Amino acid sequence: MTSALRGQLAGRALLVVFMVLTLVPFVTLFSTALQPAGSIPTGVSWPSDPQWGNFAEAWDLANLSTLTRSSLLIVLGVVPASLLLAALAGYGLATLRVPFANAIFLLFVLGLTIPFESLITPLYYQVQALGLLNTRWALILPLIALYMPFGVFWMRAHFLTVPAELTEAATIDGAGPWRAFRHVHLPLAVPALSSLAILLFLWTWNQFVLAIVMVDDPTKRTMAGALGAFQGQYGTDIVLLSAGALLIMAPTILVFVVFQRQFSRALLQGAVKG
């Protein structure tokens, strides 16, 4: 019993250490963001007169109103389309008899291992040929495709857990595959779809390499891409940079905390994505 208790204590202690290590960088960023603008602060020191106005200034300088709108437009372009295509394909591969189903699935799984950087050069010229460079479509269309392997993988895994009797029952009732999908499978897939939606939102919001390659104008980029530009411009003003970085991270942390349950489930079960 005592050994179990000691184990528990060690567990708690280690957890506390990990939590501190995780949080320290944020604490120093936060305390820096509140220093007088243009000053040269050190590590962690609570400012005598916290400058909350720095956040407002960073918001204006980084053009965050425009940026939020831009990022949301990109998210709206990517997420619903990805969900629809992934749900259809996952349903087809898991439940229906699609020719070459295994080969098709393998092709998608292969995509899970492809680093984005390996595709970025040809993608650039391909998007240029379509005349879409420097538009949000240059991010939306490739991202839908780049997230498709995970989406299909995820939705197929979900549809495989649906008992076959359910499909059979629907078929006996005279429902074709489409009606079975619409009225039986899709409603049951809502939890899986919402987890996927949250993941896709975060990946899109945080997408960087595609954003800096495809779009020159930071205000048409994703949030992470814009943050990169902001660093380039205000990198020497550590106070403003800290405030800007915090503002840009805040929505991701907020979404995570609010949807934590779906989120950890998705990330833990579906962590196969690279």
- Window 133 to 162, contacts with other proteins (CB under 8 A): 141-142, 144-146, 148-149, 151-152
37 binds other proteins (CB under 8 A): no
Cα(224)–Cα(106) distance, rounded to whole angstroms? Answer: 31
CB 127 within 8 Å of CB 138: yes
274 binds other proteins (CB under 8 A): yes
Residue carrying structure tokens 């699935």:
105
106 binds other proteins (CB under 8 A): no
255 binds other proteins (CB under 8 A): yes
Residue carrying structure tokens 């907020």:
254
The first and second tokens of residue 180, run together, are 């079975």
Residue 217, judged by CB atoms within 10 A of its CB (0-12, 13-18, 19+), counts as exposed
Tell me how far, at minimum, the Cβ of 65 lies from other proteins, in Å.
Answer: 19
Sole window of 48-56, 58-66, 187-195, 217-225 interacting with other proteins (rule: CB under 8 A): 217-225
47 binds other proteins (CB under 8 A): no
Cα(71)–Cα(226) distance, rounded to whole angstroms? Answer: 10
**Residue 15 phi, psi dihedral angles, 5° rounding:** -60, -40
> Among residues 92, 192, 195, 262, which is the contact residue for other proteins, using CB under 8 A?
92
> Among residues 53, 66, 80, 113, which is the contact residue for other proteins, using CB under 8 A?
113
Sole window of 61-69, 123-131, 165-173, 189-197 interacting with other proteins (rule: CB under 8 A): 123-131
26 binds other proteins (CB under 8 A): yes
86 binds other proteins (CB under 8 A): yes
Alpha carbon distance, N-terminus to C-terminus of the chain? 41
Give the count of alpha carbons within 13 A of 172, CB side only: 6
Footprint (CB under 8 A) of other proteins, residues 218-247: 223-225, 227-228, 231, 238, 241-242, 245
121 binds other proteins (CB under 8 A): yes
Q: Say which residues have a Cβ less than 8 Å from residue 199's Cβ, sequence separation at least 6.
A: 150, 263, 266, 267, 270
58 binds other proteins (CB under 8 A): no
120 binds other proteins (CB under 8 A): yes
171 binds other proteins (CB under 8 A): no
3 state SS of 106: helix
Give, in order, the Cα–Cα distances in Å from 249 to each of 182, 192, 206. Answer: 37, 25, 9
174 binds other proteins (CB under 8 A): no
DSSP state of 36: P
The first and second tokens of residue 184, run together, are 């039986």
2 binds other proteins (CB under 8 A): no
One-letter identity of residue 270: G
Tell me how far, at minimum, the Cβ of 56 lies from other proteins, in Å.
Answer: 19
24 vs 169, which CB is nearer to other proteins?
A: 24
> Among residues 37, 72, 124, 175, which is the contact residue for other proteins, using CB under 8 A?
124
97 binds other proteins (CB under 8 A): yes
195 binds other proteins (CB under 8 A): no
